[in-house]
Amino acid sequence: MPTALNMALDDPHMQAAVKRSSKLLHKRALLAGAASAIPVPGLDWAVDAAMLSKLIPEINKEFGLTPQQLDSLNPKKREQVQKAVTMVGSVLIGKVISRELVIKAATTIGMRLTTKQLAKYVPFAGQIVAATVGYAAIRYLGEEHMKDCIRVAQKAELDVPKVDIPRLGYSG
């Protein structure tokens, strides 16, 4: 199964969007993993939901797939994107991200989250397992979402927003 970066290899702007999204994803997954290790009932679910509700729109933005970005497209291109979203089957692209949407997405990894809940109450080793599973669950959801964004952008022939990357060099 290819990674998001592998899927974007033929497009340097898509690669850049994947790399920026991956950095965001890694940071958020680390925070979610840390929260998972704390044996307070429900804390990790609340943190996961908060992380995802901020992360998903940021990833969408990197690929030009926020509701605002889609509204700025011409009607024909917007229709192409909507068809691509339907074909890919994503519930998180081009929509305002609500708690309900995050919960719907999280059900795809429900078993991992249940394992995390149970493991955190086993002293020390359980907290490590819970943190690892918490990190992996958020990481998995984010990676799958990036892949969906790539598929939609490719199917709709959507240009990924270009971000100027400062060149390092010396003038002399």
Q: Three-state DSSP class for 4? A: helix
Domain coordinates in residue numbering, the chain: 4-155
Task: Please tell me the predicted confidence (pLDDT) of residue 57.
Answer: 93
Listed as ranges, residues in the chain with pLDDT below 50 are 111-112, 166, 168, 170-172
Residues in the chain: 172
Distance CA 87, CA 68 (A): 21
Q: Three-state DSSP class for 19? A: helix
Task: Please tell me the predicted confidence (pLDDT) of residue 33.
Answer: 83
Whole-model pTM above 0.75?
yes
Task: Please tell me the predicted confidence (pLDDT) of residue 168.
Answer: 47
